């Protein structure tokens, strides 16, 4: 078994711990050492039976452990990963896939990605590093999900779409075939994307339209 530390002890972190338990019921793959969280009040607390063993500054104390970041916000997740890489050159990141996920062999997945229960991923799909695909999502043929993309629960991504780096799709979002979501764009829950969404914007509605831009 490989030692594993989950970064982030909030709600999604607890769900990832459950995902690890589900993996281990199929095959004893991970020895979950506990959580890391930068919240002072959580240090050494027990979270669903696992201890918060430190902050991200403590990553170098665990040279043999794998890490996985269970922080939903894409920009924050990217900052955390870059911090750990700077502290621990050669740091190892776990890719976690729930046993219930249906996925062809024609899918590539980068390090540190998390794919949650009851998701379906079909064929000829590229998933980057540190991507989160939450519960009950679908990803269609020839889709590309770049690094640090986040899909919240029940997102439907149609075929030949491109989700650019750091984009976030809110719960229940639907994207029709062949569209692109720009880098660091956020699509609000329940939106339907029928046109490309530009970089660095928040888009909402049916159909989804940008309502504000950020740098």
Q: How many domains does the chain have?
A: 2
Is 64 domain-assigned? yes
Predicted confidence (pLDDT) at residue 140 exceeds the cutoff of 90: yes
Residue 208 · residue 194 · CB < 8 Å: yes
pTM of the model: 0.95
Torsion 112-113-116-122 (CA) sign: negative
φ and ψ at residue 144, rounded to 5 degrees = -125, 125
**What does the pLDDT read at residue 205?**
97
141 is catalytic: yes
Task: Compute CA 214 distance to the chain's CA centroid, rounded to the nearest angstrom.
Answer: 22
Query: Is the predicted pLDDT of residue 215 greater than 80, yes or no?
Result: no
- 47 and 102 co-located in one domain: no
Banded pLDDT at 210 (limits 50, 70, 90): very high
- What is the average per-residue pLDDT within 200-208? 97
**Domain presence at residue 196:** yes
Task: Please check whether residue 210 lies inside any domain of the structure.
Answer: no
DSSP letter for 52, please. B
Domain range for 61 = 2-94
From the candidates 44, 118, 130, 141, which is the catalytic residue?
141
State the CATH number of the domain containing residue 13. 3.40.50.20
Tokens of residue 32, six digits: 């979950």
> Do 101 and 179 fall within a single domain?
yes
Q: State residue 171's pLDDT score.
A: 98
Q: Residue 158's pLDDT is what?
A: 98
Q: Tokens 């700077």 — which residue? A: 86
Model pLDDT, residue 87: 84
CATH number at residue 155: 2.160.10.10
pLDDT tens, residue by residue, 52-72: 999 999 998 999 999 999 999
The mean pLDDT of 2-24, rounded to a whole number, is: 97
Residue 214 belongs to a domain: no
- From residue 15, alpha-carbon distances to 22, 72, 98, 171, 194 in Å are 11, 12, 11, 16, 31
DSSP string, 154-184: T-EE-TT-EE-TT-EE-TT-EE-TT-EE-TT
Are 101 and 87 found together in one domain? no
Predicted local confidence at residue 202, as pLDDT = 97
State how far the Cα of 48 lies from the Cα of 119, in Å rounded to an integer. 24
């Amino acid at each position: 078994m490989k030692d594993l530390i989950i970064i982030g002890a909030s709600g999604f972190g607890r769900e990832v711990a459950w995902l690890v338990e589900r993996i281990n019921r199929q095959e004893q793959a991970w020895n979950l050492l506990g959580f890391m969280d930068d919240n002072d009040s959580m240090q050494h607390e027990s979270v669903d039976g696992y201890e918060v063993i430190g902050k991200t500054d403590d990553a170098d104390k665990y040279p043999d452990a794998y890490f996985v970041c269970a922080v939903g916000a894409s920009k924050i997740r990217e900052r955390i990963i870059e911090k750990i890489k700077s502290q621990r050159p050669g740091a190892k990141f776990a890719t976690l896939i729930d046993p219930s996920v249906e996925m062809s062999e024609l899918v590539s997945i980068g390090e540190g990605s998390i794919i949650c229960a009851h998701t379906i991923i079909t064929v000829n799909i590229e998933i980057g590093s540190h991507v989160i695909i939450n519960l009950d999502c679908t990803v269609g043929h020839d889709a590309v999900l770049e690094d640090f993309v986040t899909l919240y629960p029940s997102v439907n991504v149609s075929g030949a779409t491109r989700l650019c780096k750091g984009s976030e799709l809110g719960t229940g979002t639907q994207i029709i075939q062949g569209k692109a979501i720009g880098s660091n764009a956020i699509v609000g829950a329940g939106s339907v994307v029928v046109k490309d969404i530009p970089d660095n914007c928040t888009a909402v509605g049916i159909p989804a339209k940008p309502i504000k831009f950020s740098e």
